[in-house]
Structure 1
């Protein structure tokens, strides 16, 4: 096993150095897809809440994506400090590419590829030919680039169930990385491509305006009617997905409680039970603005 691990580390370092040559800042990852180096501050006393957290200013390794670099000497030092590394992460949001990752998950019965196509049709954009990474579970990571003056936040299932976004402060598992579930690879026909610019309409969806607090009861208006029609148009296999997406949008825009009865009624008309509909809407209300976690397969 030790020999296999050393080989995996050597390969990961080689892939990481190759990515760095293309301007992609990297960090070593463990088999769990998490940063391989633990925080040097884990044994420190409880920090002063008024003091900003250290992002590497202390000069030591172990600050996650803030350790990311394109400097070959620093990358070799990072991997030397973590000889158990079997993969590497590519930091998103950094110059010169300002990488944005579209993570299409395949778990829990989600059809994230269909959801992305529906978003593209609904908002009139096309996903360009770009780098696509295939995960061990069969999911896909689409690499896009953003403008330098736009900060894309990380999010989980905000656009649609199963679609996670890796933006500023996040990272993508690089191709050639080995995890406990297998190896990440580049999809056939995309290895020669450069990350394509993110379509403007998709970029708008990825950078939502700040939430506004309603001090008076909101009305659902045309937006609410559009969400209801979106649910009513669901076919078998889409009903929960469409209802979840519509409920997320409703709660993000402050009309969730007012629109819930109509959403339940629309979902029942498509074939869901009232209990199923209310459970899906309740999940959406809790997940409208989830905290981003580590990358998934």
Structure 2
């Protein structure tokens, strides 16, 4: 069985289990090129494929079509948010997210449930956890601790049956396919952003002007020349977080759209999320 066939069939099986999926390249990035020129802010409203996680669907025929458009797809992404979040535990480069999450559990008095677990090529794990309806968990990288990334609204996990540059993503050999367990209450609280100290706004922009401001920051990232991508992303994120603190923009949307724009420019989702988070921390401590 080819890598492409395995990825497609695994994605179709994930649909049968109720997940929204889309094809990924061997680099774990969306495999369908954007239909837009650089500088766009479309997240799928145009109806064409090529919008990353916004292509994710539970429609079997549509996902087959996405894979037909992706002859070099090697994996698939499972969209997070809604009723599920992912806990990405890295074990590489001297960082052990598994140790970190157990230290976190001991400190805050919760247990890590035996939930759906995917083994990653680097020796880490993806834990799938369900969340209550109506709760929005933002993406974060390293905010809970070294080696722990959270995949929430606007994020995705690499599904089992996928192949990356470093190897395959497989179900945990001892657990196999098990039910997704609820996220522990204390862990959920840690995943949610702390209430920001609100500054008194000088004016009250309308939703339209706030949206235009965010679109402008996205364009800064998308138009960044080679060698300046991370710096431009940091600058745009710092500006956006200031708007969030003023109450003009939503934190979840800011993080999701800036990370997506950076991924389209060639950064990995992890790199982008860390830069956005770094700009956030700098603004909070400034």
- Structure 2 residue aligned with 1:158: 143
Q: How does 1:1-297 map to 2 (within 5 A)?
A: 7-42=2-37, 46-47=39-40, 53-94=41-82, 98-212=83-197, 289-290=277-278
Unaligned segments of structure 1, at least 5 residues: 48-52, 216-285, 293-297
- The normalised TM-score by structure 2 is 0.68
* CA distance 1:72–1:288, shift in 2 (3 Å): closer
Residue deviations 1:208-233 (CA, integer Å, cap 9, x gap):
22322699xxxxxxxxxxxxxxxxxx
- Measured in 1, the distance between the counterparts of 2:134 and 2:103 equals 28
Unaligned segments of structure 2, at least 5 residues: 201-273, 281-286
Kindly state the Cα deviation for residue 289 of structure 1 after the two structures are TM-superposed. 2.5
Please identify the structure whose Cα radius of gyration is greater: 1
- Measured in 2, the distance between the counterparts of 1:180 and 1:291 equals 29
- Structure 1 residue aligned with 2:267: none
Regions of 4+ moved over 3 Å: none
Q: Do the aligned partners of 1:28 and 1:85 also contact (CA within 8 Å) in 2?
A: yes
Q: Secondary structure at the match of 1:289?
A: helix
- Structure 1 residue aligned with 2:265: none
Count of residues in correspondence between the two structures: 207
* CA distance 1:13–1:141, shift in 2 (3 Å): same
- Measured in 2, the distance between the counterparts of 1:130 and 1:191 equals 10
- Measured in 2, the distance between the counterparts of 1:120 and 1:36 equals 36
Q: Secondary structure at the match of 2:44?
A: coil
* CA distance 1:117–1:56, shift in 2 (3 Å): same
- Measured in 2, the distance between the counterparts of 1:63 and 1:92 equals 15
